[in-house]
Structures are given as structure tokens and as C-alpha cells.
Structure 1
Amino acid sequence: MNIQTADLCDANEGRVRIVMPMFRSYGGRRAFGGPIATLKVFEDNSLVRSALESPGEGRVLVVDGGGSLRCALVGDQLALLGVKNGWAGVIVYGCIRDSKAIGTMDIGAFALATHPLKSIKKGVGERDIPVTFGGVTFVPGHYVYADEDGVIVSEQALL
């Protein structure tokens, strides 16, 4: 899939929402996109694991981690689950860890930053609900596209 968010914005003016620039790319797949699946968690990655253990079918897991910079919500083991189960990528409004290893994997991974500390595991959070950050609401089933120029969201597939 050849994703260029700048071109998608030009071709779909007024039909895409642009996420404020805040993310860094850490995955081996530099450009990615697909239908959105969502999680809302805070410093607990239990639901992230269960989501990435399930069939991804080319979807992008959007994790609203509340913007926490105090621990990581995705590491190399979870990213590898995402690769094995067919996820196109993860976008984490929070931190990841094991960035060097994730950079070698065939998965997109955007996050605010890296952090070496793992999260707690209490199984707390919500899944498949609209989540809002970066000035955009991510709705399950809508589409997200990401590359080195940024992240955009659309109600329908653009590719």
C-alpha cells in the first residue's frame, strides 16, 4: 500500500481530519493505514496485549493512553504479536519501549515518546469506543493513515 498523507489530503480536501503533529515513527513500516480499532487505557497495557493477540486483518490499533509519559504501553513482544496477527500498525497516545527492536519489524508504530518502564497490568480500560486526542476523534471502523508527514483520519477508505 503506497500511503502518502500529503497526497491523500490534497485529493480529499475537506473530507479528512489531520492529527496535530505530536508523534514519532518507531516501526519498521514507515507508512501504514487501515480501519481503526480503539482502546482507552491509562498506564495499563493489558487490553493492548489482548487486542494485538486477536486477528488484526490490516487494522490500525489506536491506543488513547491519556498522553502519559510515565511508562510504555507497547514493547517488542506486543509489537511482534501485532506483526504475527496481521495488524498494520499501532498509534499510541503515550509511550512505547524496545524501539530499536520495533524498528526492525514489519509494523507501523507511532507514539509520543519512548520510556523504559513497563506498564501495570490490571485489565482496566475500554475498547471499541471513540477516543479523542490531537484534535481528532478516532472512531472504530473509520480509517487512519500515517507516514513521515503525519496522521490523518477519514470516515471512509481513501485507498
Structure 2
Amino acid sequence: MAFLATAEICDSNASHLASGDLRVLHPVFQIYGQCRSFSGPIVTLKVFEDNVLVRELLESRGEGRVLVIDGGGSMRCALVGGNLAQLAQNMNWAGIIVNGCIRDVDEINGCDVGVRALATHPQKSGKKGIGEKHVPVYVGGTLIRDGEWLYADSDGVLISKSELSI
């Protein structure tokens, strides 16, 4: 898959931006992991201060997909750490977007996966297994649906209703 720069995507898809078929996430995410640029079909997850379902999804074959986690923007614990980032790499996930916190930043930065999160926090999350998979989530100022496409690079993160080409 050829890499598409987010600025180039925006420039060449003004009509999709105007219609809402292409959306730009608010610029609130920090960049982690070795893959500063990544893209793929989206898998959504909604959890709050509990990462059992995060692990469950990352244990499945990623096949180049991107996990978008709506953690409610919680700043009280981390939803993804070094072990989960390594798991994502091993299972061929392209990236992880966390509307919340991560930890083990040095370990995550050593993984060949793209990670975006609001911040870091040293405390681990709860383990109750509560949450919802494959549901629409509201992250970064936009509604994101399972199966849409995500494009991320150093300039930002885009959500498209369908896969884009050059």
C-alpha cells in the first residue's frame, strides 16, 4: 500500500472534506511508536479505565488494521502499555489511537507500530472486561465507525468513509 500524506489527502479531497466523508481529528494526540505514518481500516472499541477488551482485540490478527479506542479521554490510568504495543506489532496491527493515556513509552517507541494518545500515565487500568466492540465512537471531535479508514502522519489524523487512492 502506497503511503498517502495527510496534507496531500486534504488538498486533493476538498469535496470529501466539505461533505464529511473525510474528517480531520482535532490535533490533540501525541505521537508514539516507530511508525510515524500509518493507515488502515478501523476497528472501534469503547472502554473506560479498563483494557481487557483492548488486549482481546490486539490478540486477534490485525491484518494492517487500526484500533481506535475511545477511553472517554480519561487521564487517570493507561489503556495501552509496552506489552500491548508489542502484541499489536506481532499481530500485524498498523496502529492504535487512544482517546486516553498510554504508559511504557520507551517500550512503545521501540515497537514497529503507530500509536497516538492524549498523554502518558504510569498507572495501569482496571481489569473488569467492560466495554463495547465495533460500535461508533466519538474521538477527536468526530464520530468514527468500524470499517472506515484512518490515515495518520506527523501532520495529523484523518478518517475516511472509504479507502483513498493517489
TM-score range, shorter chain: over 0.9
| Structure-1-length-normalised TM-score | 0.97
Q: Is residue 2:21 matched to residue 1:22?
A: no
Hey, what does 2:6 align to over in structure 1?
A: 5
Q: Is residue 2:54 matched to residue 1:53?
A: no
Deviation at 1:3, TM superposition (A): 3.3
Q: Is residue 2:41 matched to residue 1:35?
A: yes
Hey, what does 2:71 align to over in structure 1?
A: 65
Hey, what does 2:122 align to over in structure 1?
A: 116
**Could you tell me how far apart the structure 1 residues matched to 2:87 and 2:94 are?**
12
Cα root mean square deviation, aligned: 0.8
Deviation per CA, 1:67-125, whole angstroms, max 9, x where unpaired? 00100000010011100111000000000001111111110000000000000000000
Aligned residues: 159
Amino acid at match of 1:90: I
For residue 15 of structure 2, give the secondary structure of its aligned residue in structure 1: coil
Hey, what does 1:150 align to over in structure 2?
A: 156
**Could you tell me how far apart the structure 2 residues matched to 1:73 and 1:134 are?**
17
What percent identity do the matched residue pairs reach? 56
Deviation at 1:128, TM superposition (A): 0.2
Q: Is residue 2:144 matched to residue 1:141?
A: no
Amino acid at match of 2:159: V
For residue 23 of structure 2, give the secondary structure of its aligned residue in structure 1: strand
Hey, what does 2:19 align to over in structure 1?
A: none
For residue 14 of structure 2, give the secondary structure of its aligned residue in structure 1: coil
For structure 1, list consecutive stretches of 5 or more residues without a partner in the other structure: none
